[in-house]
Structure 1
């Protein structure tokens, strides 16, 4: 399964994601059964990733020109709360090591499941709107015909009418990971390296949402004083506002995706932390050194987006 996942990603843009997993009781009561059932349908995390990739490739080649997800099925990723051992499953190791989400607290502890719905209808709409902001006229119509955008807007309206206030659990980035994301994590956080055939398929890092928010707020406070014009400050402020929408017992996951094979082992969380600490202390030399390390690691990845 993991090998299929890597081969399926070959030739596609590197895509990384930041996800929030919430306990079941954080969701509206009338949605819980469906979320729980969707999470139970997949045997492993690798199965979820493969199914989502195959579905996205299928939409690109779908007849009729509609590239948007219909919402008839929505995948749900499941993991366990930090600090609680997950239940044993036959493919626990191959399923990307969700056990790394936390250390064992005792053999008799019940795993606390956390859920992250894909919400593909909403996310596809947001992505299309972002794309259309910079593209107009015939090119926009060629990429996503207005008829299909209108049709998908109806799906979005139906989801909002059904579910009410909605928290989008996933943020995605192509061709590199935003530096602001790294501020949520530390080098000591639990992580899992998923490998197959001598390649790293992805690296996933986890942090309790309370710790992630504390780190983000620390970064915002120090950057606001030391570097108020830095673009990363706005990114961090938006990130903090987003995290505040979720249940206090949630968990944040950074999923590197296929870019991990190019950058791992990665010290970006440490470089971000050291850079912010240096700025706070007025150490411009140290801050510049941290940025150079980040740039040498990530600028070549971002340049791939413009490679022919």
Structure 2
């Protein structure tokens, strides 16, 4: 598959995302019409990604220094899935319906709203509460934070207790995310100009929940002290918020060009199974493979 995502991304941090796509009926009635309209438009997935990137760069250079999104141009990713039992038919987009598996099964649309207002608020709070909190208070004045809180309150009043459909990570993918996927899951490799632009791997919500619960059960017995157990527990709670017919997608982003082909889902699964069986040698070998692949990526965050 080819595409032209992330134009002008050179020099930006690697960013990867975990997304949940839900059927229309999972959303509040007042939001369904806007989502339906997004599904009827013809933007490709590449166009959606480029529009979101350009909007984020525009906020950074906005006069007045307010970095928060207004929500007026919130985007929606749409995924077309076959009704034959959870298979995915294509990368979707802002409104791509796909062709199904040759037309033998009708396609059903699933939606993942960007929810930039909510996500920006969560990211700002995490930054303010972290070790760089004092610097964040200087970069994001209280007046701007208060103004954005008003936007968040408006979104919640309009949409209710909204589920945040997207989780993001910079400079690498959390190992816990790989527990949701296996090598046999549908995968899109998006290439342009001789480079891998991104890799997207998908699975049904039911499969993701079964896998993550399996991993939690093994780690709770074999290695309850691991930080990954807490990450997996939080991931399970997040997945349980969504409609049973949802699809979960891991979007590598630009880091895919550095690591793909990637055996991380297999290495994480083998590592957990080895821990459960008391095979410390096998678990250590799996971790070394993961570390050799991902530690150099994380070190780029500190590179000058």
Q: In which range does the TM-score fall when normalised by the shorter chain? A: over 0.9
RMSD over aligned CA atoms reads 2.2
Which of 221, 232, 238 does residue 236 from structure 1 map onto?
232
| Matching of residues 24-63 of structure 1 within 5 Å | 24-63=24-63
Q: How far off is 1:144 after superposition?
A: 1.0
Which of 259, 266, 281 does residue 262 from structure 2 map onto?
266
Aligned counterparts of 2:107 and 2:231: Cα–Cα separation in 1 = 34
Which of 202, 205, 213 does residue 206 from structure 1 map onto?
202
Which of 150, 154, 174 does residue 150 from structure 2 map onto?
154
Secondary structure at the aligned position of 2:36 is classed as: helix
Aligned counterparts of 2:120 and 2:202: Cα–Cα separation in 1 = 25
Secondary structure at the aligned position of 1:272 is classed as: helix
1:89-133 residue CA offsets vs partner (Å, 9 max, x unmatched): xxx8999x9969xx83x6332101000000000000000111111
Q: How far off is 1:81 after superposition?
A: 2.4
Question: Equivalent residue for 1:113?
Answer: 109
Aligned counterparts of 1:266 and 1:2: Cα–Cα separation in 2 = 20
Secondary structure at the aligned position of 1:79 is classed as: strand
Q: How far off is 1:41 after superposition?
A: 3.0
Q: How far off is 1:29 after superposition?
A: 1.6
1:159-200 residue CA offsets vs partner (Å, 9 max, x unmatched): 111111110000000000000000000011110000000000
With over 3 angstroms needed to count, the CA separation of the structure-2 counterparts of 1:222 and 1:85, relative to structure 1, is: closer
More displaced stretch, 108-117 vs 214-223:
108-117
Question: Equivalent residue for 1:69?
Answer: 69
With over 3 angstroms needed to count, the CA separation of the structure-2 counterparts of 1:37 and 1:243, relative to structure 1, is: same
Contact 1:16 1:174 in 2 (8 A): yes
1:226-260 residue CA offsets vs partner (Å, 9 max, x unmatched): 00000000000000000000000000000000000
Kindly indicate whether residue 260 of structure 2 is the aligned counterpart of residue 256 of structure 1. Answer: no
Which of 182, 188, 198 does residue 186 from structure 1 map onto?
182
Q: How far off is 1:38 after superposition?
A: 2.5
Contact 1:85 1:109 in 2 (8 A): no
Secondary structure at the aligned position of 1:192 is classed as: strand
TM-score, normalization: structure 2? 0.93
Alignment coverage as a number of residue pairs: 298
Aligned counterparts of 2:181 and 2:121: Cα–Cα separation in 1 = 29
Q: How far off is 1:80 after superposition?
A: 1.6
TM-score, normalization: structure 1? 0.92
Question: Equivalent residue for 2:12?
Answer: 12
Contact 1:204 1:254 in 2 (8 A): yes
Contact 2:79 2:92 in 1 (8 A): no
Contact 1:85 1:99 in 2 (8 A): no
More displaced stretch, 13-22 vs 68-77:
68-77
With over 3 angstroms needed to count, the CA separation of the structure-2 counterparts of 1:155 and 1:213, relative to structure 1, is: same
1:198-246 residue CA offsets vs partner (Å, 9 max, x unmatched): 0000000000000000000000000000000000000000000000000
Aligned counterparts of 2:26 and 2:232: Cα–Cα separation in 1 = 24
